[in-house]
Amino acid sequence: MEITTRQEKDATVVMVQGRIDAVTAPEFENHLSSLIEKGGRRFIINLGALEYISSAGLRSILATAKRLKAEQGDIRFSGLQGPVEEVFKISGFYSIFKIFDSDASAINDV
């Protein structure tokens, strides 16, 4: 898994490439926790290059979302496709989170 981060307007865009599974989910969650500790409150998670997400990955997303909610923050997703998009639909994440086609549309909605 590879994570890159950039600031755009008042949002932190986090691009995740590879897989978020039982092995990499703690790293993903720790990365986002570190960004929250540094003051990040608005996140756009771009999963366009994510090949796979397991239930451990979904749990790390929920844990991060819960923490952000307590901090009056927000998390949105962009670029979902293929198996990752299917997992989001089947798990009900489409009804829990705001999902966008692109980073730009997610940023404009912030």
Q: Are 33 and 60 in contact (CB under 8 A)?
A: no
Q: Are 44 and 76 in contact (CB under 8 A)?
A: yes
Residues of the chain with pLDDT under 50: none
Q: How far apart, in whole angstroms, are the C-alpha atoms of residue 107 and residue 109?
A: 5
- Full-model pTM: 0.95
Instruction: State residue 48's pLDDT score.
Output: 97
Instruction: State residue 110's pLDDT score.
Output: 65
Instruction: State residue 87's pLDDT score.
Output: 97
Domain 2-105 fold is Transcription Regulator spoIIAA (3.30.750)
